[in-house]
Amino acid sequence: MAEENSSKEISSSQGGLFWLTAGTMLAALIAIYVWVPTEKNEGIIQRVMYFHIPCAWLAFFAFFIVFVSSILFLWKKEREWDIYAHCSAEIGVIFCSLVLITGPIWARPVWGVWWVWDARLTSTLVLWLIYVAYLMLRGQTEAGSIRARYSAVVGIVGFLDIPLIHFSVLWWRTFHPKPKVISSEGLGKGMDPSMLITLGISLAAFTLLYCLLMGRRVALERTKDEIDRLKREKLYSS
């Protein structure tokens, strides 16, 4: 009975989060397509930025959560942290893929090429490869303590590698526009206020989306565990 109540509570709080995310997402869409003025130089294609940057932010944030959960798992050895790392890595890879897809769509009309071997593009691609390998590792090991420990180690090592990858490809070559949102002149000086507000709404919408997806995915993984447990119980009792 108590379990039923708690599962209902989870679903109702998820419901609240769902409507909040949907509302913010709608506001972001209206802001992007109706409210914000078109950029002067790049034209309509510049609006892809309001998806590109939030996806990138979300991917990095998700990988950071993988890192933190992996450390906490190795420290506390609780299944809970393993679930968080796994779910966050999946979401991170999806949004990292979206960054790699929206990037060329934006680059083609603006730079004239789909892809350049620029620092940020290269490091995002390498990051994507690392976490795809992480998910492959998870897929190839059987569920249990070994899988959790191994993937935690890769989750930690992968994130530690990010600054090194960043500097190596930065010195290698770079074309990407200098960061405009957080520039040396101060926060948001490189952009029109309306564009900044739109980007802010979009970032908020994507962050909420992460929380929503994460909640759903974690609940799914817990259900899987529960089913496994029940299966084993029935198998041995009969």
- Residues binding another protein (CB under 8 A): 74, 126, 129-130, 133, 136-137, 140-141, 146, 149-150, 152-154, 156-158, 160-161, 164-165, 167-169, 171-172
Place of tokens 């970032």: 203
Which residue from 100, 28, 56, 30 is spatially nearest to 210, judged by alpha carbons?
56
Based on CB atoms, which residue is closest to another protein, 137 or 214? Answer: 137
Contacts of 124 (CB under 8 A, 6+ apart): 56, 59, 96, 99, 100, 103
Shortest separation between residue 137's beta carbon and another protein, angstroms: 6
Which residue from 122, 139, 75 is spatially nearest to 67, judged by alpha carbons?
75
Tell me whether residue 74 is exposed, middle or buried, using C-beta atoms within 10 angstroms of its C-beta: 0 to 12, 13 to 18, 19 or more.
Answer: middle
Based on CB atoms, which residue is closest to another protein, 51 or 131? Answer: 131
Shortest separation between residue 94's beta carbon and another protein, angstroms: 18
Based on CB atoms, which residue is closest to another protein, 85 or 165? Answer: 165
Based on CB atoms, which residue is closest to another protein, 176 or 217? Answer: 176
Shortest separation between residue 231's beta carbon and another protein, angstroms: 23
Shortest separation between residue 165's beta carbon and another protein, angstroms: 5
Which tokens belong to 180? 């405009």
Q: What are phi and psi of 178, to 5 degrees?
A: -60, 145
CA atoms within 13 A on the CB side of 48: 18
Shortest separation between residue 73's beta carbon and another protein, angstroms: 9
